Amino acid sequence: MKKHLKYIILLIFGSLALNLSASNLDSLMTKANNAYDHQQYDTALAIYNQIIKEGYVSPKLYYNLGDTYFRKKNIPEAILYFEKAKKLDPNNANIQYNLGIANSMIVDKIEPVPEFFVKRWWNYFYNLFNADTWTTLFILSFVILIFFVGVFILARERRNRKWSFFFGFIFLLISIATFGLASQRTYYTKNHNEAIIFTPAVTVKSSPSPSSVDLFVLHAGTKVQIRDHVDGWIKIKIQNGSIGWLPEASLQKI
């Protein structure tokens, strides 16, 4: 009896701690939003960053941070946090719109390499939902697949076996596709394989060495893909396909 009572007490205190933590976060968010509304941007930034230090992240929090940095005309920071918000909520129109405005204000205008149509279609579906939604769709499609497999095994009539096989095959393809999208989206969300340039102007090198050949120059706010990391140098790729090396201190990971 005492053992059960101990677990009940621990559960109660754990629930209270979680409620207090959530209440504290809500209070901090309200304070930060009020500071933003009154154009007290430094105060808002301090509180938003405090919330992040508490271990809480969300698309809304990153969006608010990006918008606040944008109001302070800190475009690289604004782009960084808009990108972080987009990573968690890829289909949010407000995030996409504000990110587009911020990107229009940077120096570098890089034309992307045309994508193969299959990859373009994949990316379209990939960006429709976040990792949790794709995972839910995978589970749902897999359950429906199991149902049709069961019908196929148990059905005696040829017609029932025929349509259950057909729909089962369709949902097998859907399950494979949604599993791939969920896996890729989860990997993308958890890994930092993209970054924003923060140095006003930085020369991209041919190898991870200050004495290597200069290739081209990038400016603050430009988004790059991270390909490798060697002794304080980052191998990057930009949208037009160009590749080179940058000092790690010149960028911040998304």
Per-residue pLDDT reduced to its tens digit, 27-68:
899 999 999 999 999 999 999 999 999 888 899 999 999 999
DSSP three-state, residue 213: coil
**Model confidence pLDDT, tens digit, residues 174-193:** 999 999 999 988 888 788 89
User: 62 lies in a domain?
Assistant: yes
Dihedral sign from CA coordinates of 68, 69, 75, 77 = negative
Residue 39 region, left (φ>0) first, then alpha (ψ -120 to 50), else beta?
A: left
Number of residues that make up the chain: 254
User: 205 lies in a domain?
Assistant: yes
Question: How many angstroms from the chain centroid is the CA of residue 29?
Answer: 21
Residue 7 has pLDDT above 90, yes or no: no
181 and 203 belong to one structural domain: no
- Of the candidate ranges 74-88, 91-105, 107-121, 225-239, the one whose mean pLDDT is the lowest: 107-121
Using CA atoms, how far residue 44 sits from 31, 51, 67, in Å, is 8, 11, 11
180 and 139 belong to one structural domain: yes
Domain count for the chain, please give it: 3
| The domain boundary residue, chosen from 70, 103, 136 | 103
pLDDT, mean over the chain: 89
User: 108 lies in a domain?
Assistant: no
User: 70 lies in a domain?
Assistant: yes
| The domain boundary residue, chosen from 174, 190, 206 | 190
211 and 184 belong to one structural domain: no
Cα distance from N-terminal residue to C-terminal residue, the chain: 51
39 and 96 belong to one structural domain: yes
CATH number at residue 222: 2.30.30.40
Residue 24 has pLDDT above 90, yes or no: no
Residue with the bigger pLDDT between 179 and 113: it is: 179
Q: In which domain, by residue range, is 62 found?
A: 2-103
DSSP three-state, residue 82: helix
Give the whole-number percent of the chain exceeding pLDDT 70: 91
> What is the CB neighbour count within 10 angstroms for residue 82?
29
What CA dihedral angle connects 248, 119, 98 and 72, to 10 degrees? 0
Residue 18 has pLDDT above 50, yes or no: no
Residue 115 has pLDDT above 90, yes or no: no
- Of the candidate ranges 37-46, 74-83, 105-114, 214-223, the one whose mean pLDDT is the lowest: 105-114
For residue 233, with 0-12 CB atoms within 10 Å meaning exposed, 13-18 middle and 19 or more buried, which class applies? buried
160 and 200 belong to one structural domain: no
Q: Sorting pLDDT into bands at 50, 70 and 90, what band is 23?
A: low
Q: Sorting pLDDT into bands at 50, 70 and 90, what band is 144?
A: very high
| The domain boundary residue, chosen from 152, 172, 190 | 190
16 and 95 belong to one structural domain: yes
**What pLDDT does residue 22 have?**
57
177 and 121 belong to one structural domain: yes
74 and 144 belong to one structural domain: no
pTM over 0.95: no
